[in-house]
Structure 1
């Protein structure tokens, strides 16, 4: 199940991010600042997530627009007719993912948080949002109950890593 969820989420995000093209007519009207916010080498994201090398990651840059598009794609109904993520928001250096359930810190939500954290953190750190500091990734349910929060990468072998994590509390 873990590999299926990882593959499904990764494929949806990668294809969404890679499918967002740059409009040539809009590119001519961009200022110097917006020119810095162009995606580069998104075709490298079409690989299996775990096969993207450090050298590949050095070449990848995701614009805010393309990353927002990928996050929006996460909220769509999947091929099984399920909507796993209700919304994704970026506030300052924090990404908040709201699962489309009220299950709190269930085993399913906990596993999804671990899987999503690694992937979302990598995308964020290669985007125009990244300011050099580690982002905080928060997962909540529909009742705004905190599932997982971390300001450093989660270890998928050990769910609690001593970072700023709380469970079972209202956010």
Structure 2
């Protein structure tokens, strides 16, 4: 993700149910790795299309030497690009990035009623790891916790991963 992507990312955030609805400052902080705590890394990647974005994934990896857990914060795809493999490719890029930095697993939570997202995650190799009762509000709903164990891969720069996603 680059500074030029921020207006599009924030617009997608505003129009996507279940998005984090972060402030501009929060999104901007993802572009300033020199300000992050030493053990924390963020992955903010936009799958692009000429003239705009197709999808986005944001995650954080805590490299603590023990769990090295990566938490998927948000993934979203523009309506016009759904069912074209964009989310699958974004998840693959995230896995490669996290594995390359020593991540051992990716964790996420999803609304119990979001069956489409759960199906996507299951196809990507995630398994249900727990349930948080009445976690979400408006409407009140359980959160399904999902996890995927990662295998080590060669570290590749985030820029190279992002370049592969251009033109989804």
**TM-score over 0.5 for the pair:** no
Greater strand content? 2
With normalisation by structure 1, the TM-score equals 0.33
Larger Rg: 1
With normalisation by structure 2, the TM-score equals 0.33
Greater helix content? 1
